[in-house]
Structure 1
C-alpha cells in the first residue's frame, strides 16, 4: 500500500487519514497513519500516534490502543489528554479498573471540562465493577448533566443496575424506566 501513496505529501496523507477516521473507516486510517509514522520526523507525530490509538480502540484492539496511547503522552496538552482518555477507556475495557480510576481522577481534577462526562462515566463504571456501588452512582449521575450526547440510555441503565445491587428497587425501577424512554430503536424489545 505504501507505494500507492509515495508521492503524497505529509499533509495530504494526514488529510486522507483523518477523512477515513471521520468516516469510521478505522482499519484504512490505520494503514495511512502507519505510512505517516514510518516517514517519521514530523512534529505532529505524537498526535498521529494518538489518532492511530483511537482507531485501534474503535476496532476493539484495546491492548494495542493502550500501548500506543502511552507513546503519545509526550505530545502537547491536547494529545496528552486524548491519550489519557484512550488509556482510561482501554483499561476499563481490559478489566483493569484500578488502573483506570487514577487516570480519570487526574483528568477531572485538571478541569478539562470537555472530558468531564466521559471520565465521570468511566469512574462510575469502574467503581461498579469493583463493587463500590454508591461511588458508582455518584459518578454515573454526575455524567448525565454534562453528557453532550442526546441519549443517556446506557447511563440510566447503568444507574438502575447499581441501584439493583444496592437493593433499592424503587430507584432501580425509576432509572430502568428512564432508560426505556431513551432506548435507541435497536434496543427496544
Structure 2
C-alpha cells in the first residue's frame, strides 16, 4: 500500500466521519427544532385560548354592566314618573323625596319650587312602557303611558296617552334625570 492510497483512504474516512457526525448533528438539531416548534404551537394555542376566554369574559361583563345600567335607568325612570307624573293630594313629601334622588338640581328646583301651591289636579299613570338607549355616561328613554288628570274642583277626569323623552346622565353609580320633553 502506498502512501497515496493511505492518504486518500484517510481523507475519505475523515470525510465519512464528518458526514456521519454532521448528519447526526443535523438530525438532533432538527429534532430539537421540531420539539421547540411543538412547544411554540402549544404556547400559541394556549394564548389563543386565553384571548378567546378574555374576549368572551369581556363581552359577558359588558353585557352584565349594560343590563345593570339598564336596570338602574329603569328604576330611576320609575321614581321619576312617580315623583313628577303621579300627583295626589297626600303624596307631595314622598314625591319630593323621590325626586331629590333622581332629578338634577336644576330640574328639581324647577319642578318643586313652590310647596305652598294649591293642587288643582290629581294625576295618575298607568301602563308605563320604557324604551332606553344607553351611551356610556349618558342615556335617553322614551316613556309611553296612559295619563289621567282629575280636576279636583269638579271631579272630572281626562285620560290621554303620553310619550315623554327623558335624558339621563350617570353620576358616580346613579342615573340622574337632567331633562324631559313631552312629545305629544
Band of TM-score, shorter chain: under 0.3
Higher RCO (Cα < 8 Å, 6 or more apart):
2
**Higher radius of gyration, 1 or 2:** 2
- Tell me which protein shows more helix as a share of its residues: 1
